[in-house]
Structure 1
Amino acid sequence: PPCGHSEEGQLWFNTLKRGLFLCDGIMWLTMLQVKEKLDYVEDHQDLFTNSETFDIEVFHIPSIGLFMATANRDSDLGSGIYKWTDGRFERYQNISTYDAQALQYFTVGKK
């Protein structure tokens, strides 16, 4: 499949090659290697959140960019929105939540 700006951050599992790939906005990067246990996972970024995170939601807003929302347990600190900038997620916004278990991206009309 194509790998351009609109596919950036998406995963693709190729059933023929039995491989998992990540689109970096230019090309598909392999995520799985023929290795034992979990040593095929490469650490790209350690992202520290306000509290224990139960869920993440990655979404793209046209003309704005790629984002990730984290559902955080601590109600006092809320949950976070991170924006993909220069090859990594950076804190963008904090939202008030109460013991968040999951988050879901949605649109209203064309907004």
Structure 2
Amino acid sequence: MPSFQTRLKITGLKPGNPPEAVMAAAVEALETRHHVESNQIELAAGVPQLNLRFLVEATEYSGENQQARDSAAMMRDAVERVALTGALTVLRRNRGRWAPV
């Protein structure tokens, strides 16, 4: 099964939401469609960034990429209910490297 990673910048919390609600929303949204292999928050240039790695059911290359992009967009929509977001990146694991989709 192809492995993908989504990276989403978080620029702030919406009022009334604790910081842990951000990752919870992201994982919950992705798990409705895919197996989430890992999740973490890191600082990228001083800005918090969610990193989630997930598997997409193997079909055909472009279809897998589209599924990953659609799922990442759905995840971002879920996160935007609790936080303000910035750039979203979707990467595919290919020959031991992460490449943009």
Same fold, TM exceeding 0.5?
Answer: no
Q: What's the TM-score, normalizing by structure 1?
A: 0.34
Q: What's the TM-score, normalizing by structure 2?
A: 0.36
Which one scores higher on RCO, CA 8 angstroms, separation ≥ 6? Answer: 2
Higher-Rg structure is: 1
